[in-house]
Structure 1
Amino acid sequence: MNDKYEAVIGLEVHAQLLTETKIFCGCSTKFGNAPNTNVCPVCLGHPGVLPVLNKKVVEFSVLMGLATNCKINEKSIFARKHYFYPDLPKNFQISQYEEPICENGFIPIELKDGSKKNIRIKRIHMEEDAGKSIHDQGDNTLIDLNRTGTPLIEIVSEPDINSPEEAYLYLTKLKQILTYLNICDGNMEEGSLRCDANVSVRLKGETKLGTKTEVKNMNSFRNVEKALEYEIERQIDLLEDGKEVIQQTLLWDADANIAYPMRTKEEAHDYRYFPEPDLMPVVVTEEWKNEILSKMPELPDAKKERFINQYNLPKYDAEILTSSRELADYYEKILSVTKDYKAASNWVMTEVLKVINEEKISINEFPISAENLGKLIELINKNIISGKIAKEIFSEMLKSNKDPEEIVKEKNLIQITDTTEIESIVDKVLMQNQKQVEEYLSGKEKVWGFFIGQIMRETKGKANPQIVNDILKNKFEMIKDSK
């Protein structure tokens, strides 16, 4: 990016709410059902039908507002937003405009240099989703109205974001909060989290905003980052060439890594907003707000700080372990069995997450229970098994989720701690490898690892490593003294 310019970015994020039914009718919101089966006269916009507001949608919206430091408006109203798309059966969308349910909040993000920045939230409002147009089924465009009327909240940031990196951090944090609250699954591929970006550039030091464009069709946070990088460079190149930036909507093509124009950008008046006559104002009393607040779970930032303070974990560990609510819960269930906080963290961050990433599964699908992993850690700490044997048992547990104590008994994997037995094995290894003994005595200390490896092989990894080290050290001292 040209150092003369700065980017000004505002994001509009649509989050599909995890309610069982739609916002204004009783139709199912289940994803993946046969096309046009989750529909009724209300969401199809038949004449004479009346919408009835889903109470759960209001509660989820207020919960998100409270989690993002917003003011919850006691009174908010719905409005009709008019536009004419084939997948919008009523030819208007019920949304909120002048009086949204939540306003003036913020989300803190932490930049790579460790500094913190608050991204202000202008508003959070409730609205219904449109249907889906399918363009890749031959010559005709097909319409699936299953999604029509699915409840959304739109989270609109102020133009406080100044780089694609900040946008990525903000979106990651937003998704984390939504999933912690369990009000949205955050799945961009299935369309339950969608992001549009308003982008402009201006000379550094300027206070006046440049002409903005809106970029759509970004189905991952990395694509948002790439699309913003592209659009910022494109606008700077235009200005450097003495040309104007045109206010328009652009679609991001992830395969070609370019954005191309879709239409000139509408202004608010183009939508002919007016109050929805079929719905009463939404009134959130102080009592109802407090009732919703009482259901608030521990949020990611608070959980991260608690993990650092309560479990004495490094910041890096705490960030990874609290990246999702389910992962944090899994970690804390391990601690119901073992109090070795750091060992539990290491096992989750290395072995557990390695399997999850390789198998592309969630922590909820991970085959080893937290309790059994805690037992495995305790077996190491009690010197019943070695760390090496623990890895073998872990592999076995992945297949069966058996209690690790059972596996140890079945396979006779108990660690050898008998010093007499280990000493005889050390003597045997030294006797069979006289050349390496001479090399070690002549100063080649790297050979030490060779001896440890041979001893562990002889004991099938069951010898206590510390006892092996101590005996081997004593043996070499005795050899040196005898010379």
Structure 2
Amino acid sequence: MAEENPDGVVIGLEIHVQLNKLNSKMFCACSTDYHNSEPNSNTCPVCLGLPGSLPVINEKAVESAMKVGLALNCDIVEQTQFHRKNYFYPDLPKGFQITQYDYPIANDGKIAIESDEGEHVVRIKRAHMEEDPGRMMHIGNIEKSKGTLIDYNRSGMALLEIVTEPDIRNPKEARRFLDKLRNIIEYLEVFDSNLEGAMRVDANISLQGGSRTEVKNISSHKGAERALLYEIMRQKNIMRRGGEVIMETRHFDEEKGCTVGLRSKEAEHDYRYFPEPDLTPIRVADRVPKVTKTLPELPDAKRERFLSQYGMTEMHAKALTSDIRVSEFFEEIAKEVDPKTSASWVADVLKGELNYRELTVDAFKVEDMISIIQMVTQDKITEKSAVEVIRQILDYGGKPDEIVRENGLLKVEEDVVSKAVTETIQENEQAVNDYFAGKEKSLNYLVGQVMKKTRGRADAKEVRELLVDELNN
């Protein structure tokens, strides 16, 4: 099928991934656990850029970056080198950033994502290491700020910037790519995506060969999709009026859902790159065999294993492997309960309830999920009651057996259901007549009346079968 892109949309992404599962920052001994610290308390002369301080490379950060590069199907360079990227910005205390320029640690990778036309490959141009700047907090919004506060606790954190080729054709693909990338990196256990600033996106976009704009520091995948949708609309409107899109850097206002101009886009020569004189080049190619051995089973491989090992559907396999914590949660349950049944309850029911509440799977205990599924398979409670138990635990806490007992959710005896079916038929003459007249909705109504009599503790499928059997005899 031909790929449709009538507006000539070209999107490339630069994703800054904070390697925050380290004991220390990129070039100093300061702790990476700064999120709950007082502003500017988690710093030292090195990450504050004070005169006379010298950087020392974090070896574990280098190996973490290599793991990401290998997982993204990149080539690891023979030798990498750090450069100084010179620019002045208040959150950059040294007046330059230590980064990698013409010797990035990884090149030429790829990620396959699902598009509306099938599988689509997004090429990875490069992945290079650098240090994170500080964090600026505007008093008010960025356009009308009354002042700006700067916290340097984040300054010097190890970053890996992943740069794609301009292979993305619409905002939906951009979001799918970001979801897939985060999924892969979470499996590597080199960063915690739940921490603020752990993954930030710069999105470059142009239409029909026009000038490129860059939207900086987008903090969420949904935000990246919204920012790109707005930019497509904005650029199309400019072109429709005969105007020219200028090359610039823009900011995405999450609250207003729009982008605002910040400054003209810098060219590469504006940064005056030169080799970092205080750091020697690093040979990394000879470390590849060692790092390769540490790579875990990645999402695509795990999905294929789930399909073959557990015999589940493709949809369930994708849902369960889209988050490493969910996949581990499922496999613990599958040790005790039929895997296909477990897959359905975790992927279809539990994930839906968690997403509705914006919770992660860590909010639910494995043993509680096993208990609930077992009560259903042992015919002690109905599926409807099981869903109610899950909701009660998420909203109020408690143990499954206590919730079932206190709320009277144990499944009613068969003779009670049969009696309720008989009474319902006798009390609803019009609905019975409608059923015999071929009106299918009347049967749903009768099922509902039986469920009401049994307070939802009967199995709806069994009730339907009993009603049909009694009505037709």
The TM-score bracket by the shorter chain reads 0.7 to 0.9
Contact 1:214–1:249 (CA under 8 A) maintained in structure 2: yes
Structure-2 change in CA distance of 1:83 and 1:337 (3 Å): same
Q: Helix, strand or coil: the match of 1:130?
A: coil
Query: Could you tell me which of 9, 12, 25 is aligned with 2:11?
Result: 9
Distance 2:406 2:261 in 1: 66
Q: Helix, strand or coil: the match of 1:146?
A: helix
- Alignment of 1:191 onto 2:197: yes
Structure-2 change in CA distance of 1:284 and 1:473 (3 Å): same
In structure 2, the partner of 1:42 is: 46
Aligned residues: 463
Percent identity for Structure 1 against Structure 2: 42
Distance 2:425 2:93 in 1: 84
Contact 1:27–1:38 (CA under 8 A) maintained in structure 2: yes
C-alpha deviations, 1:230-265, integer Å up to 9, x for none?
434444555565554433222233444443332222
In structure 1, the partner of 2:148 is: 141
Distance 1:351 1:359 in 2: 13
Query: Could you tell me which of 363, 374, 378 is aligned with 2:370?
Result: 374
In structure 1, the partner of 2:166 is: 159
Query: Could you tell me which of 151, 176, 188 is aligned with 1:181?
Result: 188
- Quote how far apart the aligned CAs of 1:306 are: 2.7
Distance 1:469 1:257 in 2: 48
Query: Could you tell me which of 26, 29, 32 is aligned with 1:26?
Result: 29
Distance 2:253 2:452 in 1: 55
Distance 1:141 1:409 in 2: 56
Matches within 5 A, 1:307-322: 307-322=306-321
Distance 1:292 1:318 in 2: 28
In structure 2, the partner of 1:206 is: none
In structure 2, the partner of 1:362 is: 360
Structure-2 change in CA distance of 1:370 and 1:439 (3 Å): same
Distance 1:391 1:232 in 2: 42
- Quote how far apart the aligned CAs of 1:338 are: 1.0
Contact 1:79–1:274 (CA under 8 A) maintained in structure 2: yes
C-alpha deviations, 1:387-427, integer Å up to 9, x for none?
344344445544444254x66677776545555x6555555
In structure 2, the partner of 1:200 is: 206
- Quote how far apart the aligned CAs of 1:171 are: 1.7
Answer with 150-159 or 327-336: which moved more.
327-336
In structure 2, stretches of 5+ residues that fail to align are: none
- Alignment of 1:117 onto 2:120: yes
Distance 1:238 1:429 in 2: 66
In structure 2, the partner of 1:300 is: 299
Q: TM-score, structure 2 length as denominator? A: 0.86
Query: Could you tell me which of 95, 103, 111 is aligned with 2:99?
Result: 95
C-alpha deviations, 1:190-219, integer Å up to 9, x for none?
22211112223335xxxxxx5323221423
- Quote how far apart the aligned CAs of 1:132 are: 2.2
Answer with 295-304 or 76-85: which moved more.
295-304
In structure 1, stretches of 5+ residues that fail to align are: 204-209, 479-483
Q: Helix, strand or coil: the match of 1:99?
A: coil
- Measured on the aligned residues, the alpha-carbon RMSD in Å equals 3.1
Contact 2:19–2:64 (CA under 8 A) maintained in structure 1: yes
| One-letter code aligned to 1:157 | T
Answer with 217-226 or 18-27: which moved more.
217-226
| One-letter code aligned to 1:272 | R
Contact 1:178–1:186 (CA under 8 A) maintained in structure 2: no
- Quote how far apart the aligned CAs of 1:22 are: 0.8
Q: Helix, strand or coil: the match of 2:39?
A: coil
- Quote how far apart the aligned CAs of 1:275 are: 1.0
Distance 2:460 2:260 in 1: 62
Contact 1:417–1:467 (CA under 8 A) maintained in structure 2: no
Contact 2:389–2:400 (CA under 8 A) maintained in structure 1: no
- Quote how far apart the aligned CAs of 1:467 are: 6.1
| One-letter code aligned to 2:19 | L
Q: Helix, strand or coil: the match of 1:13?
A: strand
| One-letter code aligned to 2:276 | E
Answer with 389-398 or 81-90: which moved more.
389-398
Answer with 273-282 or 395-404: which moved more.
395-404
Q: TM-score, structure 1 length as denominator? A: 0.84
In structure 2, the partner of 1:207 is: none
Distance 1:407 1:243 in 2: 64
Structure-2 change in CA distance of 1:23 and 1:439 (3 Å): closer
Structure-2 change in CA distance of 1:268 and 1:187 (3 Å): farther
Answer with 98-107 or 213-222: which moved more.
213-222
In structure 2, the partner of 1:402 is: 399
C-alpha deviations, 1:136-159, integer Å up to 9, x for none?
188543322111101100001112
